[in-house]
Structures are given as C-alpha cells and as structure tokens.
C-alpha cells in the first residue's frame, strides 16, 4: 500500500519548501483560467439547446437569438471581471467570496458563500469532465468507435481519477502538467474562429443544411413559442460561460510576488480571451447555421465545416485540445476546493482534517473529498452535460452576488473611515489616525490605522491612500456587479428550479446548517477541555482490575504491571464458564496469585463481556472518585492470520470499555515468536 502511494503521489516534501510552491503568471493562467476558458466549449451550445424548444415549435429563426443573448452575457462578464479585479487588490492575501462575504456581511452570509462555492467546485469538475468526454465522443461520430458515447460515465470517472492523482502530487507539478494543453486550446480555438470567419467570407456557399433528425433540446424543455421566459432560460444556460472567473481571486496567494498585481493582470487577460472566444463561437454558429445535436457538440460541428479537405487534420487538433482543456479545467476546482475547505476547517466550520497539509504540501483530504463527490455526481447524471448545467450556475451566481455585496460594504466602511480620519484631523491633514472606537470592529480599518500611525509615511502610502479615496467609484462598480449577478441568480432560479436547480437551492442551506453544527461542536469541545478552574495536577486513587482467562505468561506480565501501579488495590477477575477449569485456576492461584485478590464471576449465558462489565460497574459504584484501570493481558501473534485462531475478546472488551467513564484501559502485550 505504502509503496503504491509513493509511486502514484511521490515522496514527501519538507514543510520548509512551502514558500517556494508559487506560480508564475503564465502557469497560473493555465491553471486558474482553464475553467473559465473551457466553458466556451459548451456555453454557446447550452443557449442553442434552449432555443431549440422554439425552433421545433416552428419558430425557424429562433437560433438567431443566440447573438443578442451572447452579447448580454459578455457585458455581464465584463462587469463581473472588473468587480473581481477590485477584490484582488482589496484582498491581496487571497480571498474569494467566502472571505469577502464573511468579513463584510458577517459569518452567515460568508458561510452561504462558502457553501455555494463548494457546490460550484464539485459541479465544475463534473460538468467539465462530462463536456470533455463529449468532445471526445463527438470526434468519434462516423468512425467505428461511435459507440464510445455509451461508455461516457466510465471515461469521466477515469479522467477524474487521473486529475486527482496529478493534484495529490502537488500544485506546481500539476501546473506544469497543464500549461501546455491550456495554451494549445487557446491557440487552436482562436485559429478556429479566425479561419472560420475568413473561410465564411471567402466562400459563403459552404454552409451545409442542418441535420434536424438528431436535434437535441435542453433537458426539461418542450416545443414552445419564443417568449421572454424561454429567452431568459437560454440566457441563464449561457451564463455557464462565467463560471470559473472567480477562481483567481480565491487563490491570489498562489501567485509569485507581487501577488495582487500578477493576479489582476492574469484576470484581465483571461476575461479578454473569454469574451473573444465565446462571442466568436456564437457568431460562427450563426454563420454556419449550426443546430444542437444529440451525438455531436456544436464546436465539433463548426470545426468539421471549417476544417475540410487538406486542413481536415486540424479538426482533430481542435477536438483534442478542447477535450484536454475541459478535462483539465476540472483542475481549477482541485486547486480551489481544498484551499477553501482548509479555510473553512481552520475557522472550525469543517472537519479539521481538511486543513492538514499532506505529504506533498497539498491539502490531500480535500482533494480526495472533491474527487469522490464529483465522481458520484457524474455517475448519477450519466455524464450528461446538459443535465448537469441547471445545477451549475446557482452556486456560482450566489457566491458572485455575496462577494460583490461584500465589496460594497467594504468600500462603504473604507469611505466612512476616511471621513472619520479627515474629521479627526480637522480636514487639515489626511494622515491623522482614526480613533480607536470608530475602527474597532473593522479589521482592515485597524490595520490601516496602525500603518498610518507609524513613523515612516512613504510616498507609496500616500499613493495608496489617494487610491482609497476613490472608494465611491469602487462602491458603484461593485454595486452594479452585485445587482446584475443577483438579477441573473433570480432569473436562474426562476427558469431552472424544476430542471434541477432545486437540488442546489435545498443543498446550500443544509451545508450551512452542517457548518454551524460542526462549529458548535468544536466550540463546546474547546470549552470542555479548557484548563480554566484547574490548579495543577491532582493525585489519583487507583482500583486495578485484571481480567484473566487462566494463568500464562501473558497474564503474569499483566499482573506484574498491575501490582506496580497500585500494589494493594489489584483484583484479578475470572469468568466461570465451566466448573472444572475454574477449580484448576483456583489451585494454580495459590502459587501465582502473590496475594492478589481473585474474583470468580458466574456467566449463565456463556458471555464473557457482560459479567466483566457488570463487575466494573459494581467497583465504580463502591469506589466513587477512584480511577479504575483495566489491565488487559493480550498476546500478539507474530503473523496477522494467526489472529483468526484466537478469540478477539480483548478487542470487544476494549470497545465496550471505551464508553465507560472514569475507566482507563491498559494493554500489556505479550509478543509471540512464530
């Protein structure tokens, strides 16, 4: 086992290397952006799938609505990206929706954001891997591997396992593993769009007739007119394009210094690429009159049309890089989920094991938990992207909204503090310290105040301070972000509730309840374990009980041990299962008892445990306040299978005694040779 783990995961890494595990901008674009960029591979298709409901109802121009919807989504994307740039600067130590909401809105909104993000991460893995596998099976249409479509679920599970192992090896190695495919995808997708446009304008007659036999409609939709609700549904589906955009703000700490600046630059690049690729794909579907199909993705259809003849091989490049980026997009979550759950665990809202750094300096437990949940989800939804999408965006947009709302409060407080400082200084100098009472409940404020009272007021600080004076502008920007993402969230719940979104709507409150329950438990444990009220170590009065099954070296070792603890308070206890053996024991006891009191208890039902436990209870009642030690003679066989040849009474007894208060269990092992 141990060596299998070493082979897969690698040898342990020293804690001292922790600081070195940071990412360059290029590598982090590959890691953090793969989720957001990869969604271009399915976002357009998700819009078309809903519009198809109007198309089959006779509205032949229904698919043309993909353009205005895509533009609306692109605008939303710009708003969200600008909002998140502000977050990155305001929270250079890293902190996505969870930290921002917790610090500014309070613990409960923070936990809601945390729960949404955890759900979102799990869904990112499931959706991305499912879409990646669809890219592969699409490429098989028309070949003799066409039935690969039926083995989707197993393929998905295989890829999840693959990414899990890669991440257990550690974040930097995972980064270098994923950099090449990310850039290859960006390159091939931009080629597809560029060459597609050129090709269309050189030869518009290329467009083939769409194949309506295999037409696919979004899960839960039926033929219906092109009304507002349907358009909103299509818009909501397309918002899958925005997922993953927050990943960078969660992981600012993973960047090389200066973290904030590098992270913000990376975010801008990512947003620009995302808009180009998403709008490009949407435009191409119109140009080439693409309809969503059951057995082939929209991107695959476009690529087949664009790359024909001598460029046919490039179709496979597009599919291969799309599949790679999608499957590796899941990797974003494998960075984010363990990081967030370690934050929640450190605040005692999740089991503390999730905050343990593993052998390879990654939060191994979180990685494994994510792998298990996303695997279950893929299996439950048969690896079908369009069935997973309705669950997807609720968590994403809920956390967007909370994060932006938190930022609004953040700027408002910042502004208040600034005003307070100016007033305190009689408006003469902006550098007067804030009064303690004003900023007491504001961590950022306190920090600022301390900084400002320090002697050295460098030019950098002046700049920093002047920047902060733009708080009104920042507040408005994040306010717009908060309102627009909230509206989208409502649209989403409205249009997708029955299609699966209800699962997430129910799940998030349950998760929050779980967080609170766990938190209360840790709090109560800490209270109960607190040393308050104690004064040094107290002496102990002992009662020692040695259950014996006869006289042998193991028993004698236990008796010796028991006598060494409390020479005059040892009792040996023997369960009488047949009279003959009991008589023999009594005789032997003359020689070996060494004055230890022997108690023989009856057992009419041939049980060993019951009479022993009853006896312990009796001693407890007769000597309240004493510590009762059960000294268990135990012989340890040399080979594991030999345990099968011995009664496991000691084990059962240990288990039963664990729940008795005031009882200490001591194993005196006697090791056998062969």
Q: Which stretch binds its own copies (CB under 8 A): 241-249, 270-278, 281-289, 349-357?
A: 349-357
Q: Is 659 in the site for its own copies (CB under 8 A)?
A: yes
Q: Is 353 in the site for its own copies (CB under 8 A)?
A: yes
Q: Is 574 in the site for its own copies (CB under 8 A)?
A: no
**Nearest-angstrom CA–CA distance, 382 and 152:** 8
Residue closer to its own copies, measured from CB, 190 or 600? 600
Residue window 588-617: x/- pattern of binding to its own copies, with contact defined by CB under 8 A: ----x-x---------xxxx----------
Q: Is 620 in the site for its own copies (CB under 8 A)?
A: no
49 Cβ neighbours under 8 A, 6+ residues apart: 216, 217, 218, 221, 237, 292, 386
**Contacts to its own copies from residues 531-550, by CB under 8 A:** 531, 534, 536-540, 542
Residue window 230-269: x/- pattern of binding to its own copies, with contact defined by CB under 8 A: ----------------------------------------
Residue from 2, 14, 498, 587 in contact with its own copies (CB under 8 A): 14
CB 245 within 8 A of CB 270: yes
Phi, psi of 669 (to 5 degrees): -80, 145
**Nearest-angstrom CA–CA distance, 592 and 54:** 93
**Nearest-angstrom CA–CA distance, 70 and 46:** 11
Residue from 513, 642, 652, 655 in contact with its own copies (CB under 8 A): 642
**Contacts to its own copies from residues 393-412, by CB under 8 A:** none
Q: Is 3 in the site for its own copies (CB under 8 A)?
A: no
Residue closer to its own copies, measured from CB, 147 or 578? 578
Residue window 355-384: x/- pattern of binding to its own copies, with contact defined by CB under 8 A: -xx-x-------------------------
Residue closer to its own copies, measured from CB, 382 or 520? 520
Residue from 458, 530, 590, 622 in contact with its own copies (CB under 8 A): 530
Residue closer to its own copies, measured from CB, 15 or 143? 15
Q: Is 551 in the site for its own copies (CB under 8 A)?
A: yes
Residue from 174, 563, 573, 574 in contact with its own copies (CB under 8 A): 563
Per 3-state DSSP, what percentage of the chain is helix, strand, and coil (rounded to 5)? 70, 5, 25
Q: Which stretch binds its own copies (CB under 8 A): 177-185, 307-315, 405-413, 559-567?
A: 559-567
Residue closer to its own copies, measured from CB, 470 or 646? 646
Q: Is 2 in the site for its own copies (CB under 8 A)?
A: no
Pairing between strand 627-636 and 597-602? Answer: unpaired
**Nearest-angstrom CA–CA distance, 439 and 453:** 14
**Contacts to its own copies from residues 506-525, by CB under 8 A:** 518, 521-522, 524-525
Distances (CA, A) of 134 to 21, 285, 294, 295, 298: 34, 18, 10, 8, 11
Minimum CB separation of residue 603 from its own copies in Å reads 8
Q: Is 674 in the site for its own copies (CB under 8 A)?
A: yes
Residue from 564, 581, 583, 597 in contact with its own copies (CB under 8 A): 564
Q: Is 552 in the site for its own copies (CB under 8 A)?
A: yes
Give 252-257 contacts, CB < 8 A, sequence gap 24+: 252/88, 252/91, 252/92, 252/93, 252/94, 252/95, 253/93, 253/94, 254/22, 254/23, 254/28, 254/94, 254/171, 254/335, 255/22, 255/23, 255/25, 255/28, 256/22, 256/23, 256/24, 256/25, 257/22
Minimum CB separation of residue 529 from its own copies in Å reads 4
Size of the site for its own copies (CB under 8 A): 70
**Nearest-angstrom CA–CA distance, 492 and 239:** 9
Minimum CB separation of residue 98 from its own copies in Å reads 20
**Nearest-angstrom CA–CA distance, 282 and 299:** 10
Angle between helices 385-424 and 107-139 (to 10 degrees): 140
CB 233 within 8 A of CB 50: yes
Per-residue DSSP letters for 365-388?
HHHHHHHHHHHHHHHHTTT-HHHH
Residue from 380, 568, 647, 652 in contact with its own copies (CB under 8 A): 647
**Residue that the structure tokens 């930290």 belong to:** 99
How many Cα atoms sit within 13 Å of 227 on the Cβ side? 5
Other Cβ atoms closer than 10 A to 70: 26
Residue from 26, 346, 352, 382 in contact with its own copies (CB under 8 A): 352
End-to-end CA distance of the chain: 24
Minimum CB separation of residue 651 from its own copies in Å reads 11
Residue closer to its own copies, measured from CB, 220 or 351? 351
Residue closer to its own copies, measured from CB, 216 or 654? 654
Residue closer to its own copies, measured from CB, 114 or 390? 114
Three-state DSSP class for 363? coil
Residue 218 region by backbone torsions, left for phi larger than 0, else alpha for psi between -120 and 50, else beta: beta
Residue from 92, 415, 433, 669 in contact with its own copies (CB under 8 A): 669
CB burial of residue 255 (10 Å; 0-12, 13-18, 19+): buried
Minimum CB separation of residue 442 from its own copies in Å reads 25
User: Which parts of this chain interact with its own copies (CB under 8 A)?
Assistant: 12-16, 351-353, 356-357, 359, 518, 521-522, 524-525, 528-531, 534, 536-540, 542, 551-554, 556, 559-561, 563-565, 577, 592, 594, 604-607, 627, 629, 635-637, 642, 644-647, 658-659, 661, 663-674
């Amino acid at each position: 086992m141990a060596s299998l783990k070493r082979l897969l995961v690698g040898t342990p890494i020293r804690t001292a290397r922790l600081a070195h595990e940071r990412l360059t901008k290029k590598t982090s674009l590959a890691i953090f952006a793969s989720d957001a960029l990869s969604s271009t591979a399915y976002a357009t298709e998700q819009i078309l799938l809903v519009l198809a409901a109007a198309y089959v109802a006779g509205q032949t121009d229904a698919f043309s609505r993909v353009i205005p919807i895509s533009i609306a989504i692109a605008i939303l994307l710009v708003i969200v990206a600008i909002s998140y740039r502000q977050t990155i600067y305001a929270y250079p130590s890293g902190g996505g929706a969870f930290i921002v909401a917790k610090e500014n809105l309070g613990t409960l909104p923070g936990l809601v954001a945390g729960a949404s993000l955890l759900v979102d991460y799990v869904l990112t893995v499931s959706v991305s891997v499912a879409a990646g596998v669809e890219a592969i099976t699409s490429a098989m249409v028309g070949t003799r591997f066409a039935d690969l479509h039926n083995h989707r679920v197993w393929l998905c599970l295989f890829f999840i396992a693959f990414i899990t192992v890669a991440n257990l090896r550690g974040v930097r190695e995972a980064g270098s593993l994923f950099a090449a495919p990310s850039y290859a995808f960006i390159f091939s997708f931009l080629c597809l769009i560029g060459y597609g446009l050129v090709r269309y304008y050189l030869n518009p007659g290329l467009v083939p007739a769409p194949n309506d036999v295999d037409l696919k409609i979004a899960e839960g939709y039926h033929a219906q007119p092109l009304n507002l609700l349907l358009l909103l549904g299509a818009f909501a589906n397309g918002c899958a394009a925005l997922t993953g955009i927050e990943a960078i703000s969660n992981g600012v700490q993973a960047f090389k210094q200066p973290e904030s600046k590098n992270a913000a630059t990376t975010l801008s690049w990512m947003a620009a690429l995302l808009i180009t690729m998403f709008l490009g794909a949407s435009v191409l579907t119109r140009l080439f009159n693409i309809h969503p199909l059951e057995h082939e993705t929209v991107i695959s259809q476009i690529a087949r049309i664009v790359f024909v003849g001598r460029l046919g091989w490039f179709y496979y490049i597009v599919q291969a890089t799309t599949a790679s980026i999608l499957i590796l997009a899941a990797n974003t979550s494998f960075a984010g989920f363990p990081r967030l759950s370690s934050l929640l665990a450190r605040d005692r809202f999740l089991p503390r094991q999730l905050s343990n750094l593993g052998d390879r300096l990654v939060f191994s437990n979180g990685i494994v938990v994510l792998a298990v949940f996303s695997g279950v989800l893929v299996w439950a939804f048969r690896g079908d992207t369009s069935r997973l999408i309705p669950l997807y965006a609720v968590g994403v947009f809920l956390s967007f909204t909370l994060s932006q709302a938190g930022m609004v409060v953040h700027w408002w407080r910042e502004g208040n503090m600034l005003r307070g400082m100016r007033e305190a200084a009689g408006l003469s100098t902006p550098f007067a310290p804030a009064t303690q009472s004003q900023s007491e409940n504001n961590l950022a404020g306190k920090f600022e105040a301390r900084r400002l009272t320090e002697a050295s007021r460098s030019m950098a600080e002046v700049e920093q301070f002047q920047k902060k004076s733009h708080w009104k502008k920042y507040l408005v920007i994040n306010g717009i972000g908060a309102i627009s993402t909230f509206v989208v969230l409502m649209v989403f719940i409205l249009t997708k509730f029955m299609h699966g979104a209800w699962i997430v709507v129910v799940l998030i409150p349950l998760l929050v309840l779980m967080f609170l329950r766990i938190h209360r438990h840790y709090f109560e444990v800490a209270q109960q374990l607190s040393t308050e009220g104690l004064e040094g170590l107290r002496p102990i009065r002992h009662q020692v009980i040695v259950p014996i099954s006869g006289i042998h070296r193991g028993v004698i070792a236990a008796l010796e041990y028991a006598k060494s603890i409390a020479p005059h308070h040892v009792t040996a206890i023997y369960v009488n299962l047949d009279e003959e053996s009991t008589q023999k024991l009594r005789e032997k006891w003359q020689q070996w008892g060494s004055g230890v009191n022997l108690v023989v208890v009856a057992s009419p039902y041939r049980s060993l445990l019951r009479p022993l436990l009853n006896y312990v209870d009796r001693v407890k009642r007769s000597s309240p306040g004493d510590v009762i030690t059960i000294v268990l003679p135990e012989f340890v066989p040399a080979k594991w299978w030999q345990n099968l040849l011995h009664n496991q009474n000691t084990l059962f007894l240990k288990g039963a005694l664990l729940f008795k208060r005031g009882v200490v269990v001591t194993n005196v092992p006697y090791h056998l040779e062969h």
